[in-house]
Structure 1
Amino acid sequence: MFKPVFFAALSLLATYFFNKLRYKRFRQYAHFPQLPPGLLMGHLKTFDDFTRRGKPDRHTDAIFADMIESLGSPSIMLVDLRPINAPVVVITDYTTAEQVTRTTSLQPTSLPKTTLAYLEPLLGSTSILVSHGSEWKALRKQFNPGFSPQHLMTLLPSILKQSKPLMNHLDNLVAGNTDFSLVEYLTNLTFDIIGSLVIDTDLCAQSEPGKRGELIQLFNEMMRTYSDEKSSLPWWIIPFKARKRSLVGARMNELIQDLIRRKHAEQQQRGLNSERTSRSIMALSPQDTKELSSELVSTICDQIKTFLMAGHDTTSTSLAWIIYELSRTPRALSAVRTELNELLGSDSDLKVVTSKLLSTDGPHFVRGMKYISAVIKETLRLHPPAGTARFGPPGDGFKVRTPEGDEYCLDGLTVYICQPLVHRDKSVFGETAGEFRPERWLDGAVDGNTEGNFPAGAWRPFERGPRNCIGQEFANIELRVIIALIIRRYDFTKVGLGETSLDENGHPTLLPSGQYAVESEVYNTRQVTGKPVDGMRMKVKFASQTSG
């Protein structure tokens, strides 16, 4: 008697789960544009198939791009990655993206950011990146003073001071005539800069490996756990890596929390109005608080980790792409150097440029870099270092309408705005959408290349709406200053991937776009954010050796 009942119950249970799985795979989101899902794997196998069709280590965005193209390039695409991740809606159109990042009556600070559990050891559980609602508003208000344009301009001396070791390293690389990872040197530079800005501490990231501070060593150790395509998998799939992150993260917390308490005590002892009072973000945020609770210290610690991570990682990668694009675009390189000559004089010596930028006219010079700003904007359009993922809370009934006229409810779905696809939309940027043309961002024509104004939402490397990047103004200032220091002094030449094609006479081949043809394409891999696969390997010479 027992066996028939048992097998009957087992059969009913199997039927129930089979029907439920069929519903989730084939009916729940059947109205969304998507490739055919599998019953057991959803789109996991499809994603793997597309991964194998190209460079297997390329960024997820490139794989999504191939999948979307195979569907006929709809404005959105559903990717069912259960049970590894929740279903994802990939957005490729700026008008749809604008609906996701705007405020609504239900979501006054826009759709909440997706909880990034795999990044918690790196950023902390209360990071401003993943907080929402009133908690996010309080954090933004608390840290906004440290990122105000007026305050940031007072940081020029620190940026210039931290840039000097980079110049020394580059001078030595010129003498050695060896190739090197540009991203590595720029990452160390931006880490030292953001360390000064956020915690008023020299992290010694540009020192020899054995002389670097413990905090920078821990950050590097942590980043190595995020250096491959498996880095974002759930902890139960990569338990040893997850354990490593937890241990390193705990030690980082100890160091930063101790630093917070020590700096706060020093500031309280000196008095808020002392000329020696630190103007770092860490000091500005709790300056009116006499006693720090454990909860407040933990929260500040998470924000410091977030600012250190975001402030060095994306800026260094963007700067590497800027240098690469300028190295293969002679007209743009010439225009940048001409602008700097007009603003700062023709002498590119470090001491001369530094004195100009430290003068009372320094902020004016930085704001006057119009063409350089266009270069930065165009590079961030083509190579945005990071995207944004939101979540549609179940039951909210949040809907978006695509340009095709279709309406979709995003409840319970991860919503990913794929910036590289939004930024290369030919309906917005024309047939040159995939080309590096800084002139498209200028008010007036430069060599007849201006292409008009574009909708604000079509350019979103810092994202838009109330949840836009708090550090975007600092990133722009930092990039302009570093460009001013190095672009006239050095010529960079890509080696390996992205190397310039030469004709039979050994001369570069110039394309109609005004760029040199290359032997192969440099592409991004995913290492928390997008990074050039080869670290942007370069050789460098003094500009006087290679150009007049």
Structure 2
Amino acid sequence: MAIPYVDDAVNAIGIISIALLFKYMFRTIYVAYFGPLSKIPGPKLSALSAIPLLLRGAKGKRWHWYQRELRPKYGKIVRIGPDMILVSDKDIIRQIVVKEDWPKGEFYKIFRVAPHLHTLFSTTDKAFHKERRRLLAPAFSIKYIRSLEPYMSMCIRNLNDKIDSLIQENSPTDGAVIDLYRMMVNTTLDSIGETAFGGTFNMVKEGNHPLPKEVVVELSRRIRRNGFPILKPFIKSNRYLYDFSSELIRRRRQEAGTRRKDILQIILDAGEGEAALPDIDIYEQIIEFLIGGSDTTSFSTFFVLIMLLNHPSKIHKLIEELDNEFVDLPRNELPKHEKLKKLPYLNAVINETMRLWPISLDGGSGRSPTEDKIINGVLFPKGTLVLTNFYALQHSAEYWGNDVDEFVPERWFKDDIPYDAFYPFSAGSRNCIGQNFALLEMRLIISSLLRRFRFEDIPGQDYSDIVQFVTPSLAQNEYKVRAWNRS
């Protein structure tokens, strides 16, 4: 015998479920085909769902989809999700990033350990960003970064000694096969450890510190947990990074006498009294600087060397510049940055590499307007996530000429350089706070290696097989070259 009120409840739940389903379907169809973004070209499925984007992002191939498929097919303005747009127009990007300085989109919340815990990178609040950047700015001033050069130099000497030992172990005549990519990653990790956290991770010498791997695991965990809330109960917490950072902070606060004036100490000293950063904020900034100070610099430095190895006339020209400038300096000694930063061809090589292989392969900065905006006839509704495609600007023949895809450092000596289509460190208030740090380290590594060693590329490897989740990296996580000591 049926119980009437149970049947009624079941029927009511069924009716409500069907109503909600129809409401969702109606809204999805409206947004896709009749909403404010409906006239923007792009894949039909992307207008209905963000799933195509998420699937490619999970594989680290979102950048390939943007740059190799969508932009060539659909042009400068492409719809990549129900409320997401990829913009590759120079004037629109400048309006968004520089002139109007739109805040970052809500998307960046997925990088936080908790929704309410903002960091310099992940915050969408312009007031918070301004204050946090003010507190941390002393750690990245030109004067302070200059004081870190001896720490960086020590790590680079370890790199040189490692390569030299491998050559001697193998054969000074035949040279040694070295994993150039891993060596760049390990060197920049050691450097950020030495300059920011009070000691090297010994990655060049030993290559087995757990911290770098744990950072990658933690970032992946956050993206999965915050991007897919339904998976949250199944994603285990990992206390390694928190315990590591907490112990680092505890030891530093207990040190007696003169404390090492590194980036960690500046973070600890930021603010006073109630304005001082809580330990959890310091923990988050430590992790953020570890990623920003190692992965990005190693990627750019590696590609500088690879571009040079694949263009013999360019590497010879740079070596000649270095040899002429430091003719009296023994090759096993590192040049001083004060001279390196003034070398025109070295800087041209770095700029050209960052133009061809920017850190922002997958779109650059994601911004959202706080109200409906119309720029150059394009409507950007409030809350839309707009990806400013710096990669596309830097690979546009319209802005750089028909040789846009060629490695031509000499272009940086021309009078008509399109600097408004060049964003190696982003721009506006959200530009990279660590750009002076990165450039100093890159110049030191490149100059020391080219003065001391001769390198030869090994055929059959693909340096364009890149994945990008947060920062870009080689899919194979290695790239080997042969090295000799210069005679």
The TM-score by the shorter chain falls in which range? 0.7 to 0.9
- SS of 1:116's equivalent in the other structure is helix
Gaps of 5+ in 2: none
**Aligned CA distance change for structure 1 residues 298 and 18 (closer, same or farther; 3 Å):** closer
Select the residue among 161, 165, 171 that pairs with 1:168.
161
2:200 is the counterpart of 1:258: no
Distance, in Å, in 2 between the alignment partners of 1:13 and 1:522 is 46
**Structure 2 match to 1:465:** 428
Q: Does 1:61 align with 2:57?
A: no
Q: State which of 101, 116, 119 in structure 1 corresponds to 2:108.
A: 116
Matches within 5 A, 1:416-455: 416-442=387-413, 450=414, 452-455=415-418
2:185 is aligned with 1:187:
yes
Aligned counterparts of 2:59 and 2:365: Cα–Cα separation in 1: 21
Q: Which residue does the alignment assign to 2:28? A: 21
Describe the shift of the 1:257–1:346 C-alpha distance in structure 2 as closer, same or farther (beyond 3 A): same
1:114-513 aligned within 5 A:
114-121=106-113, 125-131=117-123, 132-174=125-167, 175-176=169-170, 179-209=177-207, 212=209, 217-224=210-217, 234-236=227-229, 242-243=235-236, 246-247=237-238, 250-266=239-255, 269-270=256-257, 276-287=258-269, 296-345=278-327, 349-350=331-332, 353-354=333-334, 357=335, 362-386=336-360, 388-392=364-368, 396-401=370-375, 405-442=376-413, 450=414, 452-495=415-458, 497-498=460-461
Following TM superposition, by how much is the alpha carbon of 1:259 offset from its aligned partner in structure 2, in angstroms? 2.0
- For the residue of structure 1 that corresponds to 2:467, the secondary structure is strand
Shift of 1:241: 8.2
Deviates more, 1:311-320 or 1:127-136: 127-136
Relative to structure 1, the CA distance from residue 22 to residue 178 in structure 2 (aligned partners, 3 Å threshold; closer, same or farther) is same
Which secondary structure does the structure 1 equivalent of 2:91 belong to?
helix
SS in 1 for 2:323: helix
Aligned to 1:92: 88
Distance 1:42 1:168, change over 3 A: same
CA distance in 1, matches of 2:313, 2:248: 47
Q: 1:117: how far off?
A: 4.2
Equivalent residue for 1:507? none
* SS at 2:439 equivalent: helix
Provide the rounded CA distance (Å) in 2 between the counterparts of 1:69 and 1:253: 41
Partner SS, residue 491 of structure 1: strand
* Partner SS state of residue 376, structure 1: helix
Q: Offset at 1:422?
A: 1.6
Q: Is the 8 A contact 2:188 2:297 kept in 1?
A: yes
Distance 1:118 1:89, change over 3 A: same
The alpha carbon displacement at 1:91 in A equals 1.5
Q: How far apart are residue 309 of structure 1 and its match?
A: 1.1
Distance of aligned partners of 1:189 and 1:122 in 2 relative to their CA distance in 1, 3 Å threshold? farther
**Preserved CA contact (<8 Å) 1:524 1:530:** yes
1:466 alignment partner, SS class: helix
Indicate conservation of the 8 Å contact 1:494/1:536, yes or no: no
Number of matched pairs: 470
Report the alpha carbon displacement of residue 69 of structure 1 after superposing the two structures with TM: 3.9
Question: What displacement does 1:14 show?
Answer: 4.7
Letter in 2 for 1:234: G
Shift of 1:527: 3.9
Q: Quote the offset at 1:291 in angstroms.
A: 6.5
CA contact (8 A) 1:336 1:372 kept: yes
SS in 2 for 1:77: strand
Shift of 1:157: 1.1
CA distance 1:371–1:410, change in 2 (3 Å): farther
Deviations 1:273-305 (A, max 9, x none): xxx442212222443767699952222222121
Residues 348, 485 of structure 1: 8 Å contact kept: no
Q: Which amino acid aligns with 2:408?
A: R
Tell me how far apart the structure 2 counterparts of residues 490 and 321 of structure 1 sit (CA, whole Å).
17
Q: CA deviation at 1:523?
A: 2.9
Cα deviation, 1:456-489, whole Å, max 9, x if unaligned, reads 3211121000110000011111100111110122
CA contact (8 A) 2:120 2:133 kept: yes
Distance 1:439 1:296, change over 3 A: same
Aligned-pair RMSD on alpha carbons?
Answer: 3.4
CA contact (8 A) 1:492 1:538 kept: no
Identical columns (%) = 20
C-alpha contact (below 8 Å) 1:91/1:418 kept by paired residues = yes
Secondary structure of the corresponding residue to residue 420 of structure 1: helix
- Please say if 1:36 is aligned against 2:44: yes
Q: Could you tell me which residue of structure 2 aligns to residue 506 of structure 1?
A: none
Q: Which moved more, 1:299-308 or 1:309-318?
A: 299-308
Gap regions ≥5 residues in structure 1: 82-86, 271-275, 443-449, 499-519
TM-aligned CA deviation for residue 165 of structure 1: 1.7
What amino acid does structure 2 have at the position aligned with 1:260? Answer: I
Query: What amino acid is aligned across from residue 42 of structure 1 in structure 2?
Result: S
2:359 and 2:234 map into 1 onto residues whose CA distance is: 24
State the TM-score, normalizing by the size of structure 2: 0.85
Report the equivalent of 1:538. Answer: 480
Q: Structure 2 vs 1, CA of residues 151 and 173 (structure 1 numbering), >3 Å: closer, same or farther? A: same
User: 1:156 deviation in Å?
Assistant: 1.6
Flag the structure with higher helix content: 2
Q: Give the drift of 1:430.
A: 0.6
